[in-house]
Amino acid sequence: MLYGKKVPIAESAPVAANQQNFLSRYMPSPQYTVSTNTARFDVEMIYRFLTNCYWAEGIPRDVVQRSIENAMCFGVFDGDNQVGFARVARITARRKFCSWR
């Protein structure tokens, strides 16, 4: 549910049986599909959207492209038209220790 409304989404990639049960239970309509296939993503549309957002104003296109390549991304499609995008990024930090002798 999104803001109290059911959002119809069907998974386009193969999923496990328990995931498919979840999808069919909460997202019964196949109007939209969700895909992690980055080859389907409309990077130009994503870039145009981001450059109009205050948190990414002025972001270079190559940074957008790399961020899509280096994170788990989801595209929402109505037929062949991309209508949504989400990116899940995991930030890792490494500690470096110096030892003095």
Question: What's the pLDDT at 65?
Answer: 93
Q: Residue ranges of the alpha helices (H) in 52-89?
A: 61-69
pLDDT band at 78 (very low <50, low <70, confident <90, very high): confident
Tell me which CATH code domain 10-88 carries: 3.40.630.30
pLDDT band at 68 (very low <50, low <70, confident <90, very high): very high
**Strand 33-35's sheet: what is its strand order?**
10-11, 33-35, 72-78, 81-88
Of residues 69 and 23, more confidently modeled: 69
Of residues 44 and 30, more confidently modeled: 44
Of residues 76 and 99, more confidently modeled: 76
Question: What's the pLDDT at 99?
Answer: 46
Q: Which phi and psi angles does 73 have, rounded to 5°?
A: -120, 150
Of residues 16 and 91, more confidently modeled: 91
**pLDDT at position 91 over 50:** yes
Question: What's the pLDDT at 24?
Answer: 60
**pLDDT at position 73 over 50:** yes
Residue in the block written with tokens 């109505």: 78
